Amino acid sequence: MKYKTLIFDLDGTLLNTLLDLASSVNYAMRECGFCERTTDEVRRFIGNGVEVLIRRAVPEGTSEEEYKKALDVFKTHYKQNSRNKTAPYDGICDILKRLKADGYKLAIVSNKVDFAVKDLRDEFFNGLIDVAIGDSDATRTKPEPDMVYKAIEELGADIESCIYIGDTDVDIETAKNSGMDCISVSWGFRTRKELEEYGATMIADCAEDILKFV
């Protein structure tokens, strides 16, 4: 068995968080007097953490003060509304249970703010995923490898046996920077065509495909 440790992205990979993220983005836009964004625009903005998400969502030329206000409003709203419509993708919980039963070590590494990563892990995957790491002052965000290395350390795993699983170009780059293989999933926030253009070499079109690769 080549892979013994699976490190998952969260948004767009394990959980469909798009509608709740879009709702909080647009709440912040309205509160700050900006035009709302479409769900597809928000989908394309996701991947580099909430600071970049809001930076992309506010209008061009927005002042730093207005941007920071929008970011604060978003964070406050999302903290209270991160589970309204969010749910695991089809088949994900079954796959995680099978992987766990087969002795794989499982972790989440996400650019979502750390408290939200841990809250969502506990809400949807309690007992299945031991380590969950999100954006904090302690580590640089993806595609830097810091959070991946931290997860490996907390799991007591060997990097040679790890594989990263995600849905965006950021995840492909994260895996590359971390020195590990990558499974890209096509049900998330990027299309299969986009993933192919980013250089994805293993693409899962359903949760069961993950088992085929590992």
Phi/psi at 34 (5° precision): -100, 160
Q: If you ran DSSP here, which 8-state letter would residue 138 be given?
A: T
Is 9 marked active-site?
Answer: yes
Give the C-alpha separation, 118 to 123, whole Å: 9
Q: How many helices (H) and strands (E) does the chain have?
A: 10, 8
Give the C-alpha separation, 130 to 117, whole Å: 12
Phi/psi at 185 (5° precision): -110, 140
Catalytic residue among 9, 135, 169, 171: 9
Q: Quick one: how far is CA 142 from the chain centroid? A: 10
| 3-state DSSP helix/strand/coil % of the chain, to nearest 5 | 50, 15, 35
Give the C-alpha separation, 120 to 127, whole Å: 12
Catalytic (active-site) positions: 9
